[in-house]
Amino acid sequence: MMIPTAWRTSGRYVGTILLSAVFLAGLAAMCFVLATAGWRSADEFGHAASKYVALLGIAMLVLAVAGIAGLIARTRSTSRIRLDSVDGTGATAIPGTIPAFALYQLMCFCFAVLLLGASLEIAVSGRSILWIPALVLFCMGLFLAFTPGLALAGRIRRASLVLTPQQIVYEGWSSRTSLPWSDVTGVLAASMENTPLICVIGWDGAARNHLRTPSIRFGSNSYRFWKLEVQAPDGAVVLECPRLAADPHRLFRFLTFYAHTPEARMELGTPAALNRWATV
């Protein structure tokens, strides 16, 4: 099957990611050198700052690895499809990829520790003139710390796709969306900011979405800052392919087959679905 037009990656995009990764790796190396020099120096400020410079280097390195991992995920050829069950009903499940989720959490953790540590270091210095930047850094660090905190609480979790004979259930990082097969009208390949997407389209209002992350209220308005999925059209489920441990082209063919072959959906949750995956 030909690569969907929406998924074709330009050489310019690949070059940009690779150059960005090299640049970030260079910044990380520079941070490590400066941190080592500061740690060995007799200067009190340099010694204190070395910890945060080293942590900044780690964060830059994580960003570089995340960029390379994203490119690799686009060409994934292996899959981890398996049989599962949902409320006693047999299901075919595809788990989320671990590296993408872990790198995102690690990046947030590094920046959170960096900002919180720096704010506390400034606060205990006793210089009242620095309390405003210390407060700003603390608030930014606290906001970033919420992401790994919500992951530990189970509000943010690794993605997964579960297919039963009755419905499609997509567990995103921060939400759960379900769509009955009977309301599916088609499957489309799409892209957003060079991220390959699979859109399972249904009738307006057919999809049910449940957000697991909390919202923050400012006056009469409520904001949900930890909504980590692509905004799906009404009645649709949008799958971000790099977040699933499956070959996106095979997954696209698999979903398209069951969308257009209702009588075969009873295979889902049985070994026949695994055989279908191998041959589709």
Domain assignment of residue 227, yes or no: yes
32: amino acid identity, one letter: F
Same domain, 16 and 119: yes
Residues 11 and 148 placed together within one structural domain of the fold: yes
pLDDT at 71: 73
pLDDT at position 3, please? 58
Beta bridge partners of 190: 197
Same domain as 142, residue 110 = yes
pLDDT at 11: 65
Please indicate, yes or no, if residue 37 is contained in any of the structural domains. Answer: yes
| 61 and 9 co-located in one domain | yes
Does 106 share its domain with 40? yes
| C-alpha closest to that of 244 among 155, 162, 157, 160 | 160
pTM: 0.83
Domain of 196 in residue numbering reads as 160-279
Whether 84 maps to a domain, the answer reads no
> Residue 74 has what pLDDT?
65
In a domain, 180, yes or no: yes
Matching residue, tokens 């603390």 = 138
- Number of domains forming the structure of the chain: 2
Q: Residues 6 or more apart from 137 whose CB is under 8 A from it?
A: 115, 116, 118, 119, 122
Which residues of the chain fall below pLDDT 50? none
Q: DSSP string spanning 153-165?
A: TTSS---EEEE-S
* Closest CA relative to residue 180, chosen from 144, 142, 206, 198: 206
Co-location of 141 and 220 in the same domain: no
- Cβ neighbour number for residue 216 with a 10 Å cutoff: 12
Shared domain for 45 and 119, answered yes or no, is yes
Verify that 68 and 20 share a domain, yes or no: yes
Does 92 map to a domain? Answer: no
Clarify whether residues 199 and 136 are in a common domain.
no
User: What pLDDT is attached to residue 127?
Assistant: 65
Q: Do 12 and 139 belong together in one domain?
A: yes
Which residues, 6 or more positions from 239, have their beta carbon under 8 angstroms from its beta carbon? 161, 170, 197, 198, 199, 200, 251
Residue 45 located in a structural domain: yes
Nearest CA-CA partner of 9 in 70, 93, 92: 70
Are residues 11 and 146 both part of a single domain? yes
Torsion angle, alpha carbons of 127, 132, 137, 141, to 10: 110
For residues 141 and 194, membership in a common domain is answered with no
pLDDT value of residue 175: 93
- Vertex 24 angle, CA 21 and 25, to 5°: 85
Residue 169 lies in a domain: yes
Looking at residue 120, its pLDDT comes to 85
* pLDDT given for residue 76 in this prediction: 64
Instruction: Give the residues across from 201 on adjacent strands.
Output: 186, 236
Q: 186 pairs with which residues across the strands?
A: 201
pLDDT for residue 53: 85
Predicted local distance difference test score (pLDDT) of residue 263: 95
Taking only the tens place, the pLDDT of each residue in 23-51 is 989 999 998 998 888 888 777 666 777 88
